[in-house]
Chain A
Amino acid sequence: MNFDEHAAKSLVLAPAGIPVPRGQICRTAKEAAEAVRAIGPAVIKAQIAAGKRGKAGGIKPVNTPEEAERVAAAILGMSIGEYKVEHVLVEEQAKIAREFYAAVLNDTEARKPLVLFSMQGGMDIEEVAAATPDAIRREHVNLDPIPGAADFASMLAGLALGAAQASVADILSRLYAAYRRRDAELLEINPLAELADGRVIALDCKFMLDDAAAYRQEDIGKFAAPAPMTALERRAAESGLKFIQLEGNVGVLANGAGLTMTTMDIIRHFGGRPANFLEIGGDAYTKSAVALDLVLSNPGVKSLIINFCGAFARTDVMADGIVKAWQELKPTVPVFFSIHGTGEDEAIALVRARLGIEPYDIMEDAIQAAVQAAQ
């Protein structure tokens, strides 16, 4: 789950005691003008859960309410990547002396949290990392206990932080605590700015919440930025299924992410184009009826491959769902089956008896037939 900058700062950083600029969320240009009247010279920042906002023209400094109204009017409604800007953050301007970079994330290889820090924060951090890897300090941290400011001394040793050293160490400790408290996959401050007056403050923040932990982060989960989705993808999400609508015309209904990706690969191998990705792995295998409705509702679909290879997912249960939904949905496109694994005898018999369709023995043959039928 992604959050926009303001949500990340107000829900995660500020409660952890990490300083952030004064700011206000505005939905109209008029509100932005009022906010600048109260705050003074400010920065208008598009609030979307994506990067490259600055480079796309979604972040602009303003000095007067009139200017704020004009700039906010231009930014509101702007499209950046897949997102449309619906609100802006009006934030006090900061007199920046230096820009640092700080992050905590799950290091999947080490299976531990990883803390990153660099003196060279700002928009080009990825280029810095690629060109001069030594410019990024990396420290693995044991999950517990939460390290204090003093524990980050070695990570920061030798950096010319000067008077900012103590503040940075304190912020790293608080950042780690916030990462733990909020089940972050990633909590990143870029830039972490040292101001002209010596304060160290988080000017921008990216927060990604571990989807698997959403159940215990409900108080902030409701403020997550909605992912850009088609109407059909939203319908799938509401049924608890992950569905990605693609450009192709061969509908895909398979169990498990691995088999689904493989089905898409083989469609392409035979010169076809998959119409969707659909995940009915884990317990979701019992939702095959809903899944059939979704793939058939995709207007681009000209044929459908139903590819089951049961392990945990029982093919007899999935086939039963398909057969039941079939009567109601009455597919008008040709449908091809490949069924193997747990429950295969019952599943094949069911499809044969109730739908009058003979599943293919060889998965590739079924997929190739679906590709040909779509052409």
Chain B
Amino acid sequence: MIVRKSNKVIVLGITGRQGTFWTEKMLAYGTHIVAGVNPKRAGQRHCNVPIFGSTAKAVRETGGDVTVMFIPPAAAREAAVSAIEAGIKLLVVLTEHVPAQDVMAMHAAAARHGTRIVGPNTAGLVTPGECFVGIMPAFVPSVFRPGHVGVISRSGSLGALVCLKLTQSELGQSAFIGIGGDSMLGTTTRDALAVLDRDPATEAIVIVGEIGGTMEEDAAEYAKTMRKPVAAFIAGAASPPGKKMGHAGAIVTGNRGSYTSKRKALEAGGVVVVDTPAQIARALAGRSPKARLHAAGAS
């Protein structure tokens, strides 16, 4: 889930207002977009990208392997399942407010076909200096710069802020993985952590979490096995608690999901948990085994 220039990207919903705006941004940044999909405009070009009538046709004609969806919630299930069945390897679902049962249907289809879903409700993936897929300000030089810190974030806006803080501290990023703000994600914090742990360009990792769910607790288990330094910021310590899922919610999640639960689990996993995003750079720099982290980031 680290996107490369060699990936061939298909944009679903390319002709819409947001699809157009972000396709232009992605192309300008260096993302290799090979196709758009819109059944009503097959055969035309948009943003100078050829448009196909279906994802299956786009895959056949262009060899696209990554799909990003600018698709409204009610149509998201069908679009996602079509892309999965067309053989897409990586599906980035930006759509927010997809009904949960449709999300489960997407995940079931992805499991059958071996597709990796990122999202739903993700801001996408950025490989600074190379390409990006989604709706992140990769092209704003004060926010992203190439380097060796991998960033995992549930939130787009907060993820961008954390990258800004890193860049202000002259710590560039190897990859930004937006996993999404929904409750049922194709890629979890732990999944992203494992990918960045194996990535040779990544020397330190930042987890940007939020209260709710149990992904940070789960990732903390994996962090125990890691040698790369990991820092985390968890948003929501001052927020009112979320909704209660009847008795069943308590039966399934127990006491996990709170700020305290996440912080304790991460610290037990050897992760430095900071109180504000401004403290992340210092937490990492102090723990990085290699001087390269700073030197390369500043280059």
Contacts and interface: CB of A to CB of B under 8 A. Distances in A.
B interface, size bucket: 35 or more
Most interface-central of B73, B239, B251 (chain A CB within 10 A): B251
Interface string B244-262: 1111111110100000000
Nearest to A114: B252
Contacts of A113: 104
Contact of B237 (A126, A190, A268, A362): A268
A277 interface: yes
B146 to A, nearest CB: 18
Interface string A113-150: 11010000000011001100000100000111000000
Interface of A: 51, 101, 103, 105-109, 111-114, 116, 125-126, 129-130, 136, 142-144, 180, 183, 185-186, 188, 190, 206, 208, 210-213, 215-216, 244, 246, 254-259, 261-262, 264-269, 274, 277, 281-282, 309-313, 340-342, 344, 362-364
Interface in B239-294: 239-240, 244-252, 254, 275-278
Contacts of B237: 265, 268
19 contacts: A51-B244, A105-B245, A111-B107, A142-B108, A186-B245, A186-B248, A208-B246, A213-B101, A216-B99, A258-B156, A259-B157, A261-B239, A264-B238, A274-B238, A311-B136, A311-B159, A312-B156, A340-B160, A364-B278
A265 B235 CA distance: 7
Contacts of A213: 99-102
B245 A342 contact: no
Nearest to B157: A256
Nearest to A136: B251
A277 B235 CA distance: 13
A269 to B, nearest CB: 6
B248 A363 contact: no
Interface of B: 18, 73-74, 94, 96-105, 107-108, 123, 135-137, 140, 142-143, 153-161, 164, 168, 181, 183-184, 186, 208, 210-211, 213-214, 218, 233, 235-240, 244-252, 254, 275-278
A116 B96 contact: no
A363 B277 CA distance: 10
A265 B252 contact: no
B137 A341 contact: yes
Nearest to B106: A111
Contacts of A282: 96-97
A106 B100 contact: yes
Contacts of A190: 247
A188 B251 CA distance: 12
A58 B140 CA distance: 57
